[in-house]
A and B are shown apart, each in its own frame.
Chain A
Amino acid sequence: MCLSAGLILALGGCTETGKTGSKLRNQEKDGGVVEKSSFGYAMDYDVKLPGVGATSTDDVIQVTFTTEGGDFDVDVNPVNSNMIAFCSTRFSKNPQIFIANLGEGSVVQKTFDPAHSYIQPKFSPDGNRLAFASNCSGLSWDIFEINTFGKSAMTSVTGELRDTDEFHPTYAPDGFNKIGFSVIAANRNRIGIKDRLTGELLYLSTEGLYPEWSPKGDKIVFQQARHIGDPIYHIGCVDVEMTPARNADGGVRSLKRVANGKSEDCTIYNLRTGDEKTLVESGDWAAINPAWSPDGKYLAFATVKKSDAAIKENRRFAGDDIWVKDLADGSISTVTTDTACDWNPTWSKDGKIYFSSNRKGPKNIFAVFPKFLVDKPEMAVTPEPKSVPVAGPQDGK
């Protein structure tokens, strides 16, 4: 009697996940995978290639499926929510940049240099350029750019900075022609901003890492370590104002630039910092990797050593869960709850949050639609009209 009960209990425990898996496989066999998660979000991916695709096991959707190495540092094209860029060690020890089109199920490797690392890809606001960090110069980490589509030579953004490491690029909204990045040198973490028209380089007076420019361009959010006790990270935010630079006669300063075979006048902007405040802070756990929602109303971030599992394992150097802060009312809500490590969230235009996780073993890219956004059909931000011409991607500068 006892033996039977034990066997039933044991077998029940063994096959629970198996049932779920077979159910999903059957649905896929039926063709046209359109799966509704428990929160009403429909996945419309119908092609699945080895290594890239999309299946749903729960409200969290696995997007990449590498079994060798890992996929991480994901970013979603702001124009096309089906296009993601990520870096991966699936083919080499040093990470390389890949672009996957989830709608088509295609994946394209963009960098081919196994001797060096290419990390933290970031799409430009128009989706045509891709910035990333690399140590390919052999001297320091620098920011480079390539075209999203087709082949192009790498353009160095911060190549002249040989004594500092620059990484994690973030673009100002289209038209401002500025790119921000983390800079580390001599124990100081700074946020650098380079004007891509004039080449002028400035640093924010605040300390910070992993800057993210808000969709409207009026704020920069970043993570910052406290200087007392355990130097855990919290998330800070600084207001920035960009005003057109003026000549001595009061006219707007501009430069001519040739882009896509057309010559155009591009306005030069000055940047001024404003108030600085802390958005997410706790004395017990860390908040890292801030990411704006497309409408600028929410902030996704990863926590460290917040969940019970993370506290139990004393995980100080690995992400824990993804959370979202509603900037209107200040509330924070959990998006993922798995005991594995989730970090590096980024939003797509349609409101999904993509992130890196090792919940299935190797690091892979996952996506989730936050529960509280089910009733919000459109999150895309509408850029505010500007009085100056909006410039396209910069080529060959």
Chain B
Amino acid sequence: MRKLYIIMLTAVLITGCTDSSPKKARMECFDPLDRVRTVAVLPVLNLAPDKSMNEMDLGNAIADEMTKLNRFHVTYPGDAAKSLSQKGVTFANGAVVMPGAAVKSATVRSEEWGKIINDGPGLEADTDQVAPASTGTLDPNLQYRRLAQMLNVDAVLVTRISMFDPYQARMALDAELILSDSAAFSSQEITMLSASGTAFARRDQQGERAFWWMSDVFDSEQKNTRARILAFSQRYYTREHALGPKIFLRVMSRFYDFVAYEMSRDLAIVTNPKRYAPEYEQAEKQAGLKKDKNNQYSLSYN
């Protein structure tokens, strides 16, 4: 027994004193939203045949929900539209009309990528060869990035409606959060790149500068959507919640609120699941929802 103690003591001393453990490389992780401090919610672009939607109400509801995330300083659509109109940018018929100067500068810069040195002559390329663009359209991504730069925000939220039916409460929507800058690299990323042995894709590279997007149809006749409306009303409209989804949606602005809530929920969970997923799931559990084997919510209320 005494020998055993001695052996154990020796082992402890040896392992305690030798510093033979290999040094670990420090891996740095980053949340893509970390560097986004200011977001402008652009006026909603309504491409749906039914023009009865109040785009400003929906835009304000979205901005409200973005504010509730407590992550950004949010510019509301009215303020964004006013600020942009002073710079000649207008929103009409579901499209953004940009002044010629903005289109020109962006086009010239993108053309610069064409000036590549190849072997042989033609090296004295003249900048004037790039034709000035006074009209025309920009790549949508570049266009929205330019708007974000005009508004001096880190990102803009672009929302497009392709279908809307106020009677059935149905809406098809797609939304993108587009970064203003082309500084695709944060300080951590660019430092990491300098020591990296592998080309790594930035998380926000997909779709150029849009690092979050969603495309969804919210149809209040669908069982799954009704379940989600129930969860939403449980959280924010406690009194009306007991009336059920159909009566709850008699007021159209609540449907807007619900859609905005779904958007911000998706944005929050996709970009930072650790922080936001438990919070939303808890609210959904309280509303009596549970996910089935297809990961769809089932409704306990009918």
Residues of A at under 8 Å CB distance from B? 2-3, 5-7, 9-11, 13-14, 72-73, 94-95, 117, 119-120, 133, 135, 138-141, 160-165, 167-168, 184-190, 193, 200-205, 209-210, 225, 230-233, 245, 270-274, 285-286, 288-289, 302-305, 309-310, 312-313, 315-320, 339-341, 343-344, 356, 358-359
Contacts and interface: CB of A to CB of B under 8 A. Distances in A.
A365 B3 CA distance: 49
B205 A230 contact: no
Contacts, number: 193
A210 B9 contact: no
B127 A164 contact: no
A202 B114 CA distance: 9
8 contacts: A6-B6, A117-B187, A163-B106, A163-B110, A165-B185, A209-B193, A233-B198, A340-B23
Contacts of A210: 194
Interface in B177-206: 180-185, 187, 190-201, 205
Contacts of B11: 6
B131 interface: no
Nearest to B142: A163
Interface in B77-133: 106, 109-110, 112-113, 115-120, 123-125, 127
Interface of B: 3, 6-7, 9-11, 13-14, 16-18, 22-27, 106, 109-110, 112-113, 115-120, 123-125, 127, 142, 145, 149, 180-185, 187, 190-201, 205, 208
Given A203-B117, A289-B194, A316-B197, 20 more contacts: A2-B3, A3-B10, A94-B187, A135-B187, A139-B183, A140-B181, A162-B109, A163-B182, A165-B184, A167-B185, A201-B112, A202-B123, A203-B115, A233-B199, A288-B197, A313-B25, A316-B196, A318-B25, A318-B195, A344-B195
B208 A232 contact: no
A13 B18 CA distance: 6
Contacts of B193: 209
B185 A2 contact: no
Given A164-B182, A187-B205, A312-B22, A10 B16 contact: yes
Nearest to A340: B23
Nearest to A191: B117
Contacts of A135: 183, 187
Contact of A341 (B123, B182, B195): B195
A202 B125 contact: yes
Nearest to A15: B17
B183 A202 contact: no
A72 B191 contact: yes
Given A13-B17, A316-B198, A3 B9 contact: yes
B14 A315 contact: no
Contacts of A209: 193
A61 B9 CA distance: 37
Nearest to B112: A201
Contacts of A315: 25
Which 8 residue pairs spanning A and B have beta carbons closest together?
Answer: A304-B197, A6-B10, A286-B197, A225-B199, A10-B13, A318-B25, A231-B199, A14-B17
Contacts of A3: 6, 9-10
Contacts of B112: 161, 201
Contact of B127 (A9, A200, A233, A319): A200
A170 B275 CA distance: 42
Contact of B17 (A10, A162, A186, A318): A10
B153 to A, nearest CB: 11
Contact of B118 (A14, A205, A230): A205
Contact of B119 (A117, A188, A274): A274
Contacts of A245: 124
A288 B14 CA distance: 38
Contacts of A225: 198-199
A77 B191 CA distance: 22
Contacts of A165: 182-185, 190
Contacts of A7: 10, 13
Nearest to B121: A272
A2 B11 CA distance: 11
Nearest to B181: A139
Nearest to A14: B17
Contacts of B200: 317
A6 B13 contact: yes
Nearest to A356: B195
Nearest to A133: B190
B18 to A, nearest CB: 5
